[in-house]
Amino acid sequence: MANVLCVLYDDPADMYPPSYARDDIPKIERYPDGQATPTPEAIDFRPGELLGSVSGELGLRKFLEENGHRFVVTSDKDGPDSTFERELPEAEIVISQPFWPAYLTAERIAKAPNLKLAVTAGIGSDHVDLEAAIERRITVTEVTYCNSISVAEHVVMAILALVRNYIPSHQWVLKGGWNIADCVSRSYDLEGMQVGTFAAGRIGLGVLRRLKPFEVGLHYTDRHRLPAEVEEELGVTFHADAESLVSVCDVVTINAPLHPETEHLFDDELIGKMKRGAYLVNTARGKICDRDAIVRALESGQLAGYAGDVWFPQPAPRDHPWRTMPNHGMTPHISGSSLSAQARYAAGVREILECWFDRRPIREEYLVVDRGQLAGVGAHSYSTGDARAGSDEAARFGAV
């Protein structure tokens, strides 16, 4: 019997389950690179249901309890008196989402002598101290590619919302106005602009492919260069580093993992090398940007807009300055948690757990840490070290 501790975000404010806008979702069997979508032996949910909140339970309760495991699901994850902190010492498996992360710091890992497996229901395992996991030989996994296209779509939406000044224009409608001049005074065409992605992995490449029809100049930087045929197909220009990329772009989108090498990369100095009035979109991780540098750049006009859905910590404290800074298009961390994506990452978690309990190998592309070293997607995307300092600040979200 395993103790499985799962941290998910809160249920809808009105009720669970919600009334769904659609009766079903499209069935996708393979991702653009040919990788198969999750293939568990069975699922106990209907695709399109809300699975990522506490009552949704990732559709796992029946499977786990019928196999004799104890399953605790909570949204209470921050602070020494939280349910997560109380249950962690007995947990063998911890499941968490990037959108409402249970920060597995070295201190928390030290308090969890039974912990053997950390599963990210989604992609991005930076909420786990990977160095501590390596030292303890804890297996870390994520459901690679499950929501990459979901995030890429969100990036394109955010770019258009900023450049076309969509959000303030919509707000004039809500206020009963017809203030066309106010709306268009910050509205431009994306056509002809230079757009670059910092990192061109699954999400970054998905963004480039979706932006090509917009007749923009495309640019990227990445420590793994794209194949020459892909660069030629997209007409995309490679840059050796972030400084070269941002200096030529009107729009920059961040699509890199968070680790010590990318933490606070977009600071005053790097933002100062961007074109005045450039736009910055971040759906990767909030801590890749220096929080206060973003605010200063928007207030000074160095940045014309900033959008995305990632913050640090998560949930963001109620007084987080990104909530009130000018010309932003921030949302809670939702880009990778659409109902479509939830069906895939819930199935992926089920597949990982089936393999774990049956002592079968977990897909290589799902592995981040295995047998005391970075493995699979982890070896390709991450470096060791800690980028979780300050995560305890998330406890202030619920403060009155």
Distance CA 361, CA 212 (A): 39
Top pLDDT among 393 and 233 is at 233
pLDDT at site 400: 41
CATH number of 3-146+337-376+383-398: 3.40.50.720
State how far the Cα of 216 lies from the Cα of 380, in Å rounded to an integer.
29
SS3 content of the chain, % helix, strand, coil (to 5): 35, 15, 45
Give mean pLDDT, residues 216-235. 97
% of the chain at pLDDT higher than 90: 93
Model confidence over 66-92: pLDDT tens digits?
999 999 999 999 999 999 999 999 999
From the candidates 314, 320, 327, 363, which is the catalytic residue? Answer: 314
Write the pLDDT tens digit of every residue in 335-355.
999 999 999 999 999 999 999
CATH superfamily of 148-330: NAD(P)-binding Rossmann-like Domain (3.40.50.720)
Tell me what pLDDT residue 399 has: 58
| Residue 314 designated active-site | yes
A 10 A CB-CB count for 269 gives 11
Whether 69 sits among the annotated catalytic residues: the reply is no
Helix (H, G, I), strand (E, B) or coil at 344: helix
Confidence grade of residue 256 (pLDDT, cut at 50, 70, 90):
very high
Of the listed ranges 118-122, 232-236, 247-251, 256-260, the least confidently predicted one is 256-260
What's the pLDDT score for residue 396? 81
Domain locations in the chain as residue ranges: 3-146+337-376+383-398, 148-330
pLDDT in tens, 95-120: 999 999 999 999 999 999 999 999 99
Rounded-to-integer distance, Cα 361 and Cα 371, Å: 12
Cα angle 326-331-336, degrees, rounded to a multiple of 5: 145
Q: Looking at 127, 259, 333, 363, which residue is catalytic?
A: 333
- Asked if residue 144 has pLDDT above 70, the reply is yes
- Per-residue pLDDT, averaged over 365-389, amounts to 88
| CB half-sphere exposure, 9, CA atoms < 13 A | 19
Contact 275, 250 (CB under 8 A): yes
- Closest-CA residue to 94 (of 62, 124, 138, 31): 138
Measured over the CA atoms of residue 308, residue 310, residue 313 and residue 316, the dihedral's sign is: positive
| Active-site residue, selected from the candidate residues 202, 219, 259, 285 | 285
| CATH topology identical between 3-146+337-376+383-398 and 148-330 | yes
Low-confidence winner among 129-143, 182-196, 316-330, 376-390 (lowest mean pLDDT) = 376-390
**pTM of the entire predicted model:** 0.95
In this predicted structure, what is the pLDDT of residue 383? Answer: 78
Per-residue model confidence as pLDDT tens digits over 372-381: 999 999 998 8
The predicted structure's pLDDT at residue 280: 99
pLDDT tens-digit series, residues 169-223: 999 999 999 999 999 999 999 999 999 999 999 999 999 999 999 999 999 999 9
The reply to whether 70 belongs to the active site is no
Task: Evaluate if residue 388 carries a pLDDT over 90.
Answer: no
Q: Of the residues 69, 108, 127, 147, which is catalytic?
A: 147
pLDDT band at residue 24 under the 50/70/90 scheme = very high
